[in-house]
Amino acid sequence: MDQNNKIFVGNLAWEARDDKLREIFSQFGEITDAVVIIDRRTNRSKGFGFVTFTTPEAAQAAIEAMHEQEVDGRNIVVNIARPREERPQRDFNN
């Protein structure tokens, strides 16, 4: 899938969940995926997530309309998502 369809949403409230992201961004176009990244140890939001739209135009409209807008008392950051960087394999034998 084209990475221009996927946006990064940062500075989310700790209580934010997937359904909230979908609700906020659905006005910009059809969403194929909306996920808030959760810390496995605390079961709380890590404060960021990703929304994937069916078109790059919807993603761009969301960025233009929502970047630095207030959501749940916080000014969110909205940008095109960057591909995850390859992390070097850890060697646990040392």
pLDDT digits (tens, 9 = 90+) for 46-73: 999 999 999 999 999 999 999 999 999 9
pLDDT bin (cut points 50, 70, 90) of residue 84 is confident
Residue 85 lies in a domain: no
CATH number for position 75: 3.30.70.330
What's the whole-number average pLDDT of the chain? 90
**What are the E-state strand segments in the chain?**
6-10, 31-38, 45-53, 70-71, 74-75, 77-80
Q: Is residue 69 part of a domain?
A: yes
Q: Is residue 92 a part of any domain in this protein?
A: no
Residue 94 in any domain: the answer is no
Give how many domains the chain has, as a whole number: 1
Task: Kindly report the backbone phi and psi dihedral angles of residue 70, in degrees, each rounded to the nearest multiple of 5, phi listed first.
Answer: -85, 125
The pLDDT > 70 percentage for the chain reads 87
Residue 87 located in a structural domain: no
In a domain, 88, yes or no: no
Residue-number span of the structural domain to which 17 is assigned: 3-80
pLDDT of res. 30 = 98
Residue 91: inside a domain: no
* Residue 92 scores a pLDDT above 70: no
